Amino acid sequence: MDDSEEVWDARADALARVFGANYDQSFHAPHPFSLGGQADVVAFSHHLDGVVYVTAELSGKPDESYADYELMICHRSAQDWGPNVISRLAPYTQQAYIAAGESMDIDDATPADSKIKAFLFDTYGTFNLFGQDFELRLCIGITKEELKFKIDHDGEKLLDLLKRHGVYPFTDLERDSVPL
């Protein structure tokens, strides 16, 4: 077994401990992440009433990791958009650290009829891989109005509203803003 298989298997096991079951599906990028391509993504459909998609490239052995987190997105049903967008976002982590509480405009990456125009990032949980703790960086889709609220007030206040209205941790491309 080469090193990449060892890391892949260890990461899959670590993520399964968080999400309660081994991943159900994997999406492999056409070009390897280590050579400048997009990230592979795995899907878990037994953790919540929906599907959790997680990148499977950023974490690894100590001193060989690309970041101290993996990106994740949740949908209420299987979708292509979520795993595709976090796969494409993963290489950006090599240029900038994405911290919990930050937001990012994603208007160009969403369907034209979607009201979701930005991501709000949150730490969903942690997992341990090769003795090192990694975070699961949730990418949750928010509307322009919610982004303005986050900028004017606080990311935690917006997260509380999203939780109270049953949106968190899901990205629903068709939803309206929560009452602000």
Quote the tokens at residue 136: 């699961």
Asked whether residue 173 is domain-assigned, the answer is: no
Asked whether residue 22 is domain-assigned, the answer is: yes
Asked whether residue 138 is domain-assigned, the answer is: yes
How many domains would you assign to the chain?
1
Give the residue with greater pLDDT, 36 vs 117.
117
Q: Compute the average pLDDT of residues 150-171.
A: 96
Using CA of residue 101, residue 105, residue 111, residue 114, what is the dihedral sign? positive
Give the global pTM: 0.95
Asked whether residue 60 is domain-assigned, the answer is: yes
45 is in which domain, residue-wise?
3-164
Asked whether residue 175 is domain-assigned, the answer is: no
Each residue of 54-73: pLDDT tens digit?
999 999 998 889 999 999 99
Q: Does position 2 have pLDDT exceeding 70, yes or no?
A: no
